[in-house]
Amino acid sequence: MLRFLGSGSAFDAFRCDTSAYFRRGDTLFMIDCGSTAFKCALRKRIFEGAERVCVILTHLHMDHCGSLSQLVMYLLYKCGVKPVIVFPDRDVRELLRITGVGPDMYVHISGRGAELPEGVKVRYLESAHVDTINCYSLELSLPGGDEIYYSGDSGAIPDAVLEKFLDGGYKAFYQDTTGERIQGTVHLHIEDLCRLIPEDQRGRVYCIHLDPLLTEERVRRRGFNSVEI
């Protein structure tokens, strides 16, 4: 199961940006690194004892990558660790370059699938979010056969992913969920999630990227889980 540094959306003033992490052996894995994530990670001291750090990005909105440059420089200069940045597109290299991080300060793994340390595998799926940048959801495969779905920012659940979930294919399912009705498929509304997920299956679903109109209590009343920070 994933741990979280924050569970909020971009415009939530009280929750930190949604970012998750987990440890396998001597490797720390982070999913996204928004504007608040680096300082939250420092406060929680999650880098202690990590010989390797892999940052898996879903897309390049600032609430998902806004403190990535700070993270890279801290790990390299303070911890002696050159981080691995996992993202399908080369755009992340330009983002790091214009924020003062050279290509020799990190390792970039591109492409739609990657094998990472400790037997962790990631597969990228195109996500329904915005038209201006590429956005992705993730399938994480862990040693032992467990699989996790992580939506990133997404206003829809792909049919194949939903079918796999309903067949018991994911140990945990993390879905971007909103309480605000937004035109288009930017984020998935809680009531739309209710229509997609039967009540007896909601115990494996964790609502993330919550906005001010969606409380953790409302999430739990619908039978879903809210993540603990």
Question: How confident is the prediction along the chain (229 residues), in pLDDT tens digits per residue?
Answer: 899 999 999 999 999 999 999 999 999 999 999 999 999 999 999 999 999 999 999 999 999 999 999 999 999 999 999 999 999 999 999 999 999 999 999 999 999 999 999 999 999 999 999 999 999 999 999 999 999 999 999 999 999 999 999 999 999 999 999 999 887 779 999 999 999 999 999 999 999 999 999 999 999 999 999 999 8
pLDDT of residue 112: 95
Asked if 201 and 166 count as a contact pair (C-beta separation under 8 A), the reply is yes
Mark 208-217 as b/e (b = at least 16 C-beta within 10 Å): bbbbeebebe
For the chain, give percent helix, strand, coil, nearest 5. 30, 30, 45
Look up tokens 């924050």; give the residue.
6
Nearest to 28 by CA among 102, 105, 120, 93: 120
Classify domain 3-226 at the CATH topology level: Metallo-beta-lactamase; Chain A (3.60.15)
pLDDT at 184: 77
pLDDT at 183: 79
pTM, entire model: 0.97
Helix (H, G, I), strand (E, B) or coil at 208: strand
Tokens 């039967």 correspond to 198
| DSSP-based three-state secondary structure for 68 | helix
pLDDT for res 186: 94
DSSP strand pairing (3-6 vs 52-56): unpaired
Q: How is residue 33 annotated by DSSP?
A: -
Give me the pLDDT at residue 52, please. 98
Question: DSSP H helical segments within the chain, as ranges?
Answer: 37-44, 62-65, 68-78, 91-98, 159-166, 190-196, 216-221
pLDDT of 179 = 96
Q: How many CA atoms lie within 13 A of 132 on its CB side?
A: 3
